[in-house]
Amino acid sequence: MTLDFLKALFPTSFQRALALFVASFLLTVSIASCSGGDSDAVKSEANISPDNIAQLAEGGGTLQDIQAAGKINIAVPADFPPFGAVGVNMEPRGYDIDVANQIAAGLGVKAELVSVVGNYRIPFLQTARVDLVISSLGKNEERAAIIDFSQPYAPFFSGIYGRPNIKVASLGELQGQTVGVAQGSLEDLEISKLPPDQVDIKRYANNSLTASALVSGQVDLIATGNVVAAKLIQDNPEQKIESKFVMKDSPCYVGLRKKDTELLQQVNNIIANLKQTGKLNQLSLKWFGEPLPKDLAAATT
């Protein structure tokens, strides 16, 4: 049975439902990291998006369709605070949820939020289950081959954190400091590039123990991701923990289907406006406990 025959036989709504069913059938249930470097997750996303599934979903989610419907379906994170999680009232809350609502408002439509995890993000987009992915999605060549990306809207990076009395601004200035890090993490790989006789590196079993080491004074600084740091700062306001510098940057982008050019332009315009007005910086302070990095705060179109 050919694809053309299926298109002729079934209405568009059924085609999309069929596409989603096929994609879901091909998925393996797993939760992937949300950064741009999760190569295994990217391979999985690419492999479950063959041309025939994408073709079945053609025509959905254009700007005209969204405006006509008066709503936009947006994939948001289900279990990745502070980007997104379910609150005590069972409503989604987080940085990505706020951004999703801001973009919907900018388009003049209602936001219909669809909670997703890991590898479901891109299949949901390609099969027209959602119109946008705002779920701490990193950008890389593999993903760029199958979907489009907006300008960056959120920070996702590995950095050095500590109290205000420690003054460091680069890896080279860590000489003589004691730095905690989760063993085997991406931050561990970065910090391990330094000469071992210059920096006292303390490795811990996980991020929680690493954070505790800083709070208890076992180390001067820690190398960790900004998501971990955001919770640490929120839970320990009296410590006045702050970001010292970024080691590795991997910002987040809004994901869109290929050829949704008009929608992409509108989303970029809204993000640029959120940056120019300072609204996006306010959301960063609210959810991450620190302002947007200067390069990310600059509006582009």
Could you report the per-residue pLDDT of 199-211, keeping only the tens digit for each? 999 999 988 899 9
Q: What is the pLDDT of residue 101?
A: 98
Percent of the chain predicted with pLDDT > 70: 78
Quickly state the pLDDT bin for 56 (edges 50, 70, 90): very low
Our CA angle for 160, 161, 167, nearest 5°, is 85
Q: How confident is the model at residue 250 (pLDDT cuts 50, 70, 90)?
A: confident
Domains and CATH numbers, the chain: 3-155+254-297 (3.40.190.10), 157-249 (3.40.190.10)
Please tell me the distance from the alpha carbon of residue 180 to that of residue 207, in angstroms, as a whole number.
10
pLDDT of residue 301: 58
Looking up tokens 């073709």, which residue turns up? 55
pLDDT digits (tens, 9 = 90+) for 269-289: 999 999 999 999 999 999 988
Q: How far is CA 277 from CA 97, 104, 274, 299, in A?
A: 19, 17, 5, 10
Are 157 and 247 in contact by the 8 Å Cβ rule? The answer is yes
| pLDDT digits 0-9 by tens, 80-92 | 888 998 888 888 9
| Average of per-residue pLDDT across 117-126 | 86
> Which conformational region is residue 61 in: left (phi greater than 0), alpha (psi within -120 to 50 degrees), or beta?
left
Question: With bands split at pLDDT 50, 70 and 90, how would you rate the model's confidence at 140?
Answer: confident
pLDDT tens-digit profile of 189-198? 889 888 888 8
How does the average pLDDT of the chain come out, rounded?
81
Where do runs of H (alpha helix) occur along the chain? 3-9, 12-26, 39-47, 51-56, 63-69, 95-107, 121-126, 141-144, 186-191, 207-215, 226-235, 261-276, 279-288, 294-297
Residues 6+ apart with CB under 8 A from 136: 34, 35, 77, 80, 83, 84, 96, 154, 156, 252
pTM above 0.85, yes or no: no
Question: Hey, which bits of 141-269 come out as E strands?
Answer: 147-149, 157-162, 178-182, 200-204, 221-225, 242-249, 252-257
Report the DSSP beta bridge partners of residue 246. 159
pLDDT tens column, 156-186: 889 999 999 999 999 999 999 999 999 988 7
